[in-house]
Structure 1
Amino acid sequence: MLEKARYQEIALDIAHAIMMGEYHEGVKIHGRSTLAGRYNVSPETIRRAIAVLQTVGVVVVSQGVGITVTSKAMAEKFVKSFDQKGEIQVFVEDLKKLMDQRREIDLKIESHLNKFLGYTDRLVSRWMDVGEIEIGKSSPAIGKTLRDLKVRECTGTTIVAVVRNGLEQFSPDASLVLQAEDVLLVAGSAEGQQKLRAMLK
């Protein structure tokens, strides 16, 4: 909570004393010098405190008479207004904390989002890198099934389709037996595709 200025604290304390009956309406309050000694502040600070109370109708200052209490009701209103001000200040401080927390959460979300985008970029680029590999007439893969070749385990690539006699078989079954001149559509890194080419020579 934000600290009140010293003269505000003194004005609040005097108003509270009036509200509690220490000073009654029509009664003169101690002079400024006495109040300055009581609160251990300068007369100027007391003048500012009394000016606040006079502005809100709690006391009146008369030349030659001094400081006189004019309204207990206004003193109560003044004290309550400060209580409300304190509540508002607490609310503002809580709001600031929540905004700071939200900024931290926003930064975390942005960080996670960037990581996720980086991951998806790598994933998409991996699957968009599709090459064609033809089974040669003397390839050791002839007569073997896709399961036999263990393509993914050995190269990290995936055979997404087999083209045979101009017809495409997407997501071919692992039991498919390869034939000469089959064309494999292979998704994966360039390095993985190169390993597969070497296996199928």
Structure 2
Amino acid sequence: MEQARYQEIAIDIAHAIMMGEYREGVKIHGRSTLAGRYNVSPETIRRAIAILQNVGVVMVNQGVGITVTSKAMAEKFVKSFNQKGEIQVFLEDLKSLMDIRRENDLKIESHLNKLQGYADRIMSRWLDVGEIVIGRTSPAIGKTLKELKVRERTGTTIVAVVRDGFEQFSPEAGFILREQDVLLAAGSPEGQEMLQQLIL
């Protein structure tokens, strides 16, 4: 379960909020400043902030910027990540045992498979953010998010729409999609695949 750079940055910012570096109601540095701080592209920062907004840690408003909304949610987010790290260590130990005793340890193998599925579900819920570009032949052009019933049909959440280089975070149900819009969707890999089929 290799971790993407934008996921690492989201966890680092949440930890900073938890430790009091950023307080509730205070504006965090702009994406360009954060990109320089972490030595990554603004696109990577945008994904990290989308994660934090999706779990209620920050809020993004056009013309205002990124504002911390909940220290408690930041603590919950970091705690959940730490639990996933513990699960991953346990998984690696079990795999080593299976290499030595595979023929006699069928119960361990069953336990490993169940634990792997549990870890994947947690990882998907918190950290998976994908991008989908609306092409010129997309049936979604001219339709609203409400009409498409994205959440009901795919289980994903559209956390932002990028249009002409500008991000529209938490778009309303009446937001009308256009060609070349970039959707930032949070959800499981299966849900994002269903969303691609719906959009493309």
TM-score, structure 2 normalization: 0.51
Q: Does 1:59 align with 2:58?
A: yes
Which structure 1 residue ranges, 5 or more long, are not aligned?
A: 107-201
Which runs of structure 2 are paired with 1:18-33 in the superposition (5 Å)? 18-33=17-32
Corresponding position of 1:16:
15
- Which amino acid in the other structure matches residue 53 of structure 2? Q
Alpha-carbon offset, residue 3 of structure 1: 3.3
1:49 aligns with 48
- Map 1:1-201; keep pairs closer than 5 Å: 2-103=1-102
After superposition, the C-alpha distances for 1:149-200 in whole angstroms (9 at most, x for unaligned) are: xxxxxxxxxxxxxxxxxxxxxxxxxxxxxxxxxxxxxxxxxxxxxxxxxxxx
Give unmatched runs, 5+ long, in structure 2: 106-200
C-alpha distance in 1 between matches for 2:10 and 2:23: 16
State the distance in 1 between where 2:104 and 2:14 align. 45
Who wins on radius of gyration, i.e. which is larger?
Answer: 1
After TM superposition, which residue ranges in structure 1, 4 or more long, deviate above 3 angstroms? Answer: none
Give distance in 2, aligned partners of 1:12 and 1:80.
Answer: 10
The aligned amino acid for 1:35 is L
TM-score by length of 1: 0.50
Residues 112-145 of structure 1, C-alpha deviations (whole Å, 9 max, x = no match): xxxxxxxxxxxxxxxxxxxxxxxxxxxxxxxxxx
**How far apart are residue 105 of structure 1 and its match?**
7.2
In structure 2, C-alpha distance between the alignment counterparts of 1:25 and 1:103, rounded to whole Å: 51
Q: CA–CA distance in 1 between the matches of 2:84 and 2:104?
A: 30
> What per-residue deviation string (whole Å, max 9, x for no partner) do you get for residues 67-125 of structure 1?
0000000000000000000011111111111111113779xxxxxxxxxxxxxxxxxxx
Task: Please state whether the residue corresponding to 1:60 is helix, strand or coil.
Answer: strand
